[in-house]
Amino acid sequence: MRYPPLPKELFIESRARLSKKLPPKAAVFLHANDIYPTNADGTMNFVQNSDLFYLCGVDQEETVLVLFPSALDEKMRVMLFIRETSETIAIWEGEKLTKEQASVRSGIPITSVHWLSDFEPIYRHVMCQARQAYLNSNEHARATVDIETRDRRFIHRCQREFPLHHYERLAPLMHDLRSVKSAREITVLKKAIAITEQGFHRLLHFVKPGVMEYEVEAELIHEWIRNGAQGHAFSPIIANGKNACVLHYLDNKSRCLDGSLLLLDFGARYANYNADLTRTIPVNGRYTTRQRAIYDAVLRVQRGARKLLKPGVFLKSYQEKVGLIMQEELLKLGLLKSDAVKKQDKTKPLYKKYFMHGTSHHLGLDVHDVGDISRKLEPGMVFTIEPGIYIREEGIGIRLENDVLITKSGALDLMASIPIEAEEIEALMAKKK
């Protein structure tokens, strides 16, 4: 683990918030993610289950968290099960957390921290006392999960061994909790954003005609690792010219050409929290007149959208209003005709030809973080704002994205210090020469 442990109070508070939402005699079970295989004896890098980490701060495989707030025995109200280090593990993988370390990291009393080998009898004891069990699953509107996770295997086991129990979905409760960030979470997010800012400045001094997109990507991972980040928050999009019109372009294999634009969508992952930044810069350091006109239009849409994000707003109505702002900008650019706009099908607005994706998503332990999109915005929520204009016939794609915190008075730009004005970007790129 590259980052220092987060304050245990973050996880103590998260467990307390969840416990208040549980009915009497309800038990909660969460499992770590698997380490997934590649081929031969290879494995992918381990990524912790976000819900588990949110509640205990343990970034280690084969971890189980059990909450049973109604338990008569105080030591059974919250229990953590971790993998015990054997001599073989110590030699080949390195030592795992001790019970003492896990207790300090999670804020769970050491008397309630157990080895994973002790899970079976305690699990049966809890299930025999519990009236209902809240079981975890990855529920996201945009997720298609074809593999069977540890959580899913445990669901099947519980239903098989205790078929008469009442089972509930934990996901809605976790979505409700995780959508509003605590002050401690915001501190960690700001660290991820600060590292991301350093990465962007590095790129402004690196990008020039002739470099490859993958070389630009390499500069980012260098900056992440040397600053203690875990790596990319997501596979970065480094898209030169027409590649920027592919929304999820991941090849990063083309050469950056003189006179073209380079769309950069990236972020650092720090302590499992993610930043998400997008900038579009001129490869040669100067925007053309046409590029600048489109760039400034996108920037005006972004700033207009930020004014709309405030407590009490629904994301659906917000998106509709952003669409109207974009429509006006596209009319000014000559990409839409006023007569056609007047006759358009309101369910299929014409602006979507050039701006076909949503403007904002939750951000946190996951880049597209969990949250109920039908819920009104509240202070403590964190969103991206990322409008874009994509003109395939011109080979131009421009997107600008900042991360914002919803406060009582509106949206606070957490990336306000990261250059976004065209003049500032040109000035910073000129300094490399």
Q: Starting at the edge strand that comes first in sequence, how are the strands of the sheet with 268-270 ordered?
A: 231-232, 268-270, 273-274
- Identify which of 168, 172, 170, 78 has the alpha carbon closest to the alpha carbon of residue 132: 168
Residue-by-residue DSSP string for 335-392: SS-HHHHHHS-TTS-GGGGT--S-S--B-SSSSS----TTSPP-TT-EEEE--EEEEG
| Residues with a known catalytic role | 41, 248, 265, 276, 357, 361, 368, 386, 390, 399, 401
Q: How far is CA 205 from its chain centroid?
A: 27
**DSSP letter string, 64-92:** EEEE-TT-SSGGGSEEEEEPPPPHHHHHH
Q: Nearest-CA neighbor of 244 among 281, 192, 292?
A: 281
* 181 DSSP 8-state letter: -
Nearest C-alpha neighbor of 29 from the set 165, 145, 220: 165
Q: Are 118 and 81 in contact (CB under 8 A)?
A: yes
Q: Which residues of 305-323 are buried (b: 16+ CB within 10 A; e: fewer)?
A: bbebbbbebebeebeeebb
CB atoms within 10 A of CB 354: 21
